[in-house]
Amino acid sequence: MKSHLIVLVLLLSVFVVTNSGCKKTVIQERVVEVEKKTAWTELKDLHYSSRVVLNSAVFDDSTIAFVNKGVVATYNSNTLNFKGGYIFGFGDFTIGNKPAISPDLLITANRTQVLITASTDLQLHGKMAFIGPSLFDTGFIEFVAPYSRTVSPQAIVKGKYVLLPCLRSISSQQQQFAYLARINSSIDAGASNSIRLSVDTIQMIRFTPVISSLFGSFFSSLTVAEDKIFIAYGADTYRVDTSGNVKAFGASLNSISAIFKLNGNLFAVDVYGTIYTSSDKGESWNVFYRTNNPLWGYLSFQQIGEDVFAFYQDQIWQLTLSSSTMNIKELQNEGLERSAITSINRCGSKIFVTSLFGVYYRSWDLFKTYK
């Protein structure tokens, strides 16, 4: 996604021409292409299909990882130099369009199995954990993906708990479930002290409809807040803790699309544009504001420290809270036009945006510049 200025440069060359003793000056033109500087700069190291980046994760102060359908690439955020790459998972057979990744784990799944790899040991193919429910659950049908391409099909909590939504058959009826797996990490002294993963425990989580009379096979959102997992099916929102306890919120928290934290309180947005708030870490919820604008349900939200940003297609906004008013202001996106943003992350002194059309970056100090 690059734009250019076309500059005409006139070069004067003087030639001596023997023609009746006259001197003739010839003017030659040359077109010079100069790249236009924009607010956002593309990481030119990515080419062709590798520019289709679906997610990102920050491993440390100088290492950021970019993920597409089957490849992870890590870069030094200071120098922008490539550090290493890894081919993982099931490629085009992977469910969902946003592989789940954290500084600890990388998860990929197809319809029938899940592979979990240690993010710090991406190059070691044999150190992954495998979950194939058909080996221990006769009611298992398949793992399911979310409606939205900006929602990951799995959730990671504390670097060792993963929630894997699935469809199961009970008494000839298909119902919504999930497996909550605890992943054990150990040092493999026989392989250069690399990390070996194994599945410690697996719990079966059942989601019973409260508002919705019938679920579809897909969930609309899956997010982590206060070390708990929030998932929405139909009109219902549920919370799952790391012990496997499930809480259904019913009408008090309609089907949510996202959760974020501002000024110490949690906020949730539902698919109809209603904003909810919780002051007790998600135990109870109240309506904060009704925007009456369903476009809020299409926004994706990214928490970066104390800041919260929303994005949709090629636009980015910052959310701020003053008293009882939530403000949303659009940030400068010159250079991102006509892209489709998939994630936003800060690493070191830079902010990175991944999209279906490449990775872009700019200085963190300049990021919060309003349009």
Same domain, residue pair 74 and 178: no
Q: Determine which helix (DSSP H) or strand (DSSP E) holds 366, and give its type and residue range.
A: helix 364-367
Q: Can you give the pLDDT at residue 124? A: 55
Residue with token string 């099931």:
90
Looking at residue 108, which CATH number applies to its domain? Answer: 2.40.128.630
On whether both 321 and 254 belong to a single domain, the answer is: no
Per-residue pLDDT, 260: 94
Asked if residue 10 is part of any domain, the answer here is no
Please give the pLDDT value at position 32: 58
> Cα–chain-centroid distance for residue 281?
23
pLDDT digits (tens), the chain, 371 positions: 444 443 434 344 444 444 555 555 555 566 656 566 788 999 998 888 889 999 999 999 999 999 998 889 999 999 999 998 888 878 788 888 899 999 999 998 999 999 998 887 766 555 788 999 988 999 999 999 888 878 899 999 999 999 999 998 877 666 789 999 999 988 766 656 577 888 999 999 999 888 876 566 678 899 999 999 999 988 899 999 999 999 999 888 988 999 999 988 999 999 888 999 999 999 999 999 998 888 888 899 999 999 999 999 999 999 998 877 889 999 999 999 998 999 999 999 999 999 999 999 999 999 999 98
What is d(CA 143, CA 113) in angstroms, rounded to the nearest whole number? 8
Asked, for residue 212, whether it belongs to a domain, the answer is yes
Tally of domains in the chain: 2
Q: Domain of 255?
A: 88-297
Same domain, 177 and 205: yes
For residues 116 and 249, state if they share a domain: yes
Closest to 73 (Cα-Cα) out of 94, 47, 40: 47
If you write DSSP's letter for every residue of 290-320 in order, what string do you get? E---GGGGG-EEEEETTEEEEEETTEEEEEE
HSE (side-chain half, CA atoms, 13 Å) at 189: 0
- Strand pairing category for 173-188 and 194-206: antiparallel
pLDDT score of 371: 87
Domain co-membership, 268 together with 344: no
* Shared domain check, 290 and 157: yes
Same domain, 118 and 231: yes
Q: Is there a single domain that holds both residue 212 and residue 123?
A: yes
| pLDDT of amino acid 1 | 41
Residues 50 and 169 in one domain: no
156 and 303 inside one domain: no
pLDDT of residue 27: 56
Three-class DSSP category at 214: coil
Tell me, what's the pLDDT at 220? Answer: 86
| Angstrom distance (rounded) from CA 20 to CA 6 | 40
Please report whether residue 292 resides in a domain: yes
**Are 270 and 343 in the same domain?**
no
Inside any domain, residue 9:
no
In a domain, 109, yes or no: yes
Pair (291, 363) in one structural domain:
no
pLDDT score at 14 = 43
Q: Quick one: pLDDT at residue 278?
A: 95
Out of 297, 322, 351, pick the residue that ends a domain: 297
> Looking at the domain assignment, is residue 2 inside a domain?
no
